Amino acid sequence: MRDVDGRTRVCSLIGNPVEHTLSPLIHNTLAEYTEKNLIYVPFSVEADRLEAAVRGAYALHILGLNVTVPYKSAVIPYLEEVDELAKQIGAVNTLVRCEGGYKGYNTDMTGLKRAMESDGIYLEGESVILLGAGGAARAVAFLCAHAGAEKVWMLNRTLERADRVAEEVNSVFGRDCVTPLLLTDYDKIPKGKYVAVQGTSVGLHPDVEAAVVTDSAFYEKVHTGYDLVYKPGDTKFMQLVRAGGGRAFNGLKMLAWQGILAYELWNDIVVTKEQAQNIIEKLREKTKVYE
Ligand code: ATR
């Protein structure tokens, strides 16, 4: 821990609960690597004190904040500005100090994009299979459309939910990008090789033997699979992707990159590749207990 003095800048996390967050590890380590006089502290905030927390943070000259569950959408009315992608998604996880308050960003999604790019996957022109239609998968659908993906096949157990997301995304972007499908209709996806994103809660610790689709015929269509889950580090979905000949990644890199991108926004600097790799390693070490 660096010495705290009169010049120390503070960044923080607001949410409820915040006890299990890995963000202090990311940001306090980055402060050390980049030699910034900065500390990162999580704050648990009650729902009826959210506005007071944001205004108070501004008054206290807090440099930047992360926002976590359950306030990623609820905080938006208290912001001065919202970045375009975050506005489309309707959720922010990063607040950057600006004139009069904070500007909201969604580095969860730009972090996923960045993690993919570090593996050589570029969403522009890609065809994507997206498993799930909940909050996380919905955000991924917006990211894909925003980043210029050609097509997103959104598979969900409850078709109506995928229908709604598809309608929403397609109307915002004015093109027929997302096609909803019932989960069991995965064989209707045209032959080819796809990037697949696992955005359901199936396979999460401790239910580690479960995957939302288990048929090997499905996995033959996947050249690269991303699981948003990182506990466990090697999910059943990832194992099935590899068995089908594809590459598979968990959500740890996305977690690292959402933090790194927030840190870059707050400090107006670029984190080096080596520093980013060290952060990913530290997170892997910290979450190993779940494997
Ligand atoms: P989050 O905000 O993390 O995305 P969520 O909104 O509760 O969480 O969404 C959970 C996702 O996992 C949904 O796509 C859900 O499918 P339904 O919309 O049909 O509920 C999916 N999911 C959860 N349990 C599932 C299961 N046992 N089989 C298939 N899909 C499941």
Encode pLDDT of 154-204 as tens digits.
999 999 999 999 999 999 999 999 999 999 999 999 999 999 999 999 999
d(CA 283, CA 277): 10
pLDDT at 95 over 90: yes
Q: At 2, give phi and psi (nearest 5°).
A: -75, 160
Instruction: Kindly give, in sequence order, each residue whose CB lies less than 8 Å from that of residue 230, ignoring residues fewer than 6 positions away.
Output: 250, 251, 252, 255, 283, 287
Count of other CB atoms within 10 angstroms of residue 119: 13
Residue 245: both structure tokens together: 């000949």
Cβ distance 238 to 207 under 8 Å?
no
Name the residue with the closest Cα to ligand 1, atom 30: 157
Q: Ligand 1 center to residue 139 CA distance, Å?
A: 14
Atom of ligand 1 nearest to the CA of 162: 18
Pocket of ligand 1 (CB under 6 A): 132-137, 156-158, 161, 200-202, 212
d(CA 199, CA 227): 7
103 is known as an active-site residue? no
Q: Residue 157, SS3?
A: coil
Atom of ligand 1 nearest to the CA of 158: 19
Q: Ligand 1 center to residue 156 CA distance, Å?
A: 8
pLDDT at 288 over 90: no
Atom of ligand 1 nearest to the CA of 138: 4
Average pLDDT for the chain:
97
pLDDT at 1 over 70: no
d(CA 62, CA 239): 42
Say what the pLDDT of residue 159 is.
98
Encode pLDDT of 7-42 as tens digits.
999 999 999 999 999 999 999 999 999 999 999 999
pLDDT confidence of 2, banded at 50, 70, 90? confident
Q: What is the DSSP string of 8-68?
A: -EEEEEEES--TT--HHHHHHHHHHHTT--EEEEEEE--GGGHHHHHHHHHHTT--EEEE-
Name the residue with the closest Cα to ligand 1, atom 14: 132
Name the residue with the closest Cα to ligand 1, atom 23: 201
pLDDT at 216 over 60: yes
Say what the pLDDT of residue 289 is.
63
Encode pLDDT of 144-156 as tens digits.
999 999 999 999 9
Say what the pLDDT of residue 101 is.
98
pLDDT at 290 over 90: no
Q: At what angle do helices 252-267 and 23-33 cross, to 10 degrees?
A: 50
Name the residue with the closest Cα to ligand 1, atom 27: 202
**pTM across the whole model:** 0.95
pLDDT at 291 over 60: no
Out of 36, 72, 103, 236, the active site residue is 72
Q: At what angle do helices 273-287 and 23-33 cross, to 10 degrees?
A: 150
Mutate to test the pocket of ligand 1, among 112, 198, 200 (most ligand atoms within 8 A of CB): 200
pLDDT at 102 over 90: yes
